[in-house]
Amino acid sequence: MSAWEPVIGLEIHVHLKTRTKMFCRCPIAYFEPPNTQTCPVCLAMPGSLPVPNRKAVEWTILLGLALGCEIAPRAIFHRKNYFYPDNPKGYQISQYDEPLCVDGRVVVPGSDGDSEVGIVRAHLEEDAAKTVHVGGAEGRIHGSESSLVDFNRAGTPLVEIVTAPDIRSAEQAKRFLQVLRQMVVELDISDAEMEKGSMRFDVNVSVREAGESDFRTRTELKNMNSFNFAAKGIEREIRRQVELYESGGTVVQETLHFDPGNESAPPLRSKEEAQDYRYFPEPDLVPLEPDRELVERLRGGLPELPWARIRRLEAEIGFTLAEGLVTSGRDELYSRVPGEREAVANVVMNELAATGVEPADVNAEELGKVIAARADIPRAAFAEALAASGDEGFSAERYLAESAIADVSELDPVIDRILGQNQQQVEAYRGGKEGLLGFFVGQVMKETGGKANPKVVNERVREKLKA
């Protein structure tokens, strides 16, 4: 496997959260009854004409600027011709050789340094309808008995981001997708909820021998909506292609449908090329010519981007915590909470996240007091404080008053009793099984109802076991 180099490119589709669709004024509604949010335009009735959504155009430009793209002075909508049951016109209004955004780059931070992924283009189009597969396992096309079409989604503004084949591992692809999703959410142009389908991605995978400069035949993993599934799918496809080449076979260019449950990827169809779609300019729409003043205004409003924040925070708390906070959107709360930085980062990233409390609702000053005193209050009180930290009027005072038992004269009798009741474990510890320390500390914490100071208990148990 080490003699082969993966070559990976991504196509990311992002629904823009405009109020109405791309070329008509039907509202965008994900959970309304099927086929109730439609009109002659998005159903492709004869004689209906498209009118572009201005907000969708502006948000695509904003996204392109964040991706480091050049904004084209002139962009053209094209007809991308293909027939699927969820495509009522028989073509999709998209962009082809003159898209809005071209030649960008995204920095992907890693624990061993940054890598860059080129952005070939980001173009604006309309989404197709939604096909619902009935009677099969997990709602997938394979094994289903029939398929139904819901046209509510038809015409939703969709930005497609196409990367260069610059990605060299499943892990790098996953990191790229995570920082990209966070950027889209922070720009407030999409909720990018993958389980809802408002962000999904296709993955193009090929392999070549180390040192080889040409690209080999690629395959496409279609419509993935999970970072972990994408990584698993990529790893599986890399293995499959390497095994094919090493056994004397060849890779066929085709589109695959990765099933994460079975770790399989059955083929859907042969992979299309641009000529298969017979692109030509959309005759019912004039070219887009973005106003330069608008472009510069949008550029001036860009926030600090996720990859820059990861590197800034890394100096304080290390790469892993910095990446986790930024890609989960928790770094803003981390920056507001006072206290020792690594302790704050760990609580915000792990324990507070587990409570489900919305970060924006948290009283940061009061939470900082609780974190600073975590060693001096019972574990149960600390957990209760975290769960309540987003409540209106939250105060640390109540929880700080529940000081943990740290008085040795109170703890020693409990510790002695626990050790006396577990002589076999005591001998095992003294014989070298030091991992049993946690068992003794846990028994003391249980005996005291979680009110003992864990640090003091740990120290006293160690001392007594050495005696």
The larger pLDDT score, comparing residue 466 to residue 66, is at 66
In the predicted model, what is the mean pLDDT of the chain?
90
pLDDT at residue number 2: 57
Question: What percent of the chain has a predicted confidence (pLDDT) above 70?
Answer: 93
Mean of pLDDT values over 253-274 = 62
CATH tag, 408-466: 1.10.10.410
Mean of pLDDT values over 3-26 = 96
Q: How confident is the model at residue 259 (pLDDT cuts 50, 70, 90)?
A: low
* Tokens 């959504």 -> residue: 53
The larger pLDDT score, comparing residue 366 to residue 140, is at 366
- CA dist list (Å): 389 to 116, 138, 341: 39, 38, 18
User: Measured between alpha carbons, how far is 323 from 351 in angstroms, rounded to an integer?
Assistant: 17
The larger pLDDT score, comparing residue 292 to residue 223, is at 292
CA dihedral 189, 310, 334, 342 (to 10 degrees): 160
Mean of pLDDT values over 78-86 = 89
Q: Locate CATH 1.10.10.410 in the chain.
A: 408-466
Candidate from 203-217, 280-294, 420-434 with smallest mean pLDDT: 420-434
Mean of pLDDT values over 173-199 = 95
Residue 28 CA to its chain's centroid (Å): 23
pLDDT at residue number 436: 86
pLDDT tens for 192-212 read 999 888 999 999 999 999 889
pLDDT at 216 over 80: yes
pLDDT at residue number 427: 86
pLDDT at residue number 329: 95
pLDDT at 134 over 50: yes
Mean of pLDDT values over 288-298 = 97
Candidate from 230-239, 333-342, 445-454 with smallest mean pLDDT: 445-454
pTM for the whole structure = 0.83
pLDDT at 275 over 90: no
pLDDT tens for 320-367 read 999 999 999 999 999 999 999 999 999 999 999 999 999 999 999 999
pLDDT at residue number 425: 87
pLDDT at residue number 1: 47
Q: How confident is the model at residue 43 (pLDDT cuts 50, 70, 90)?
A: very high
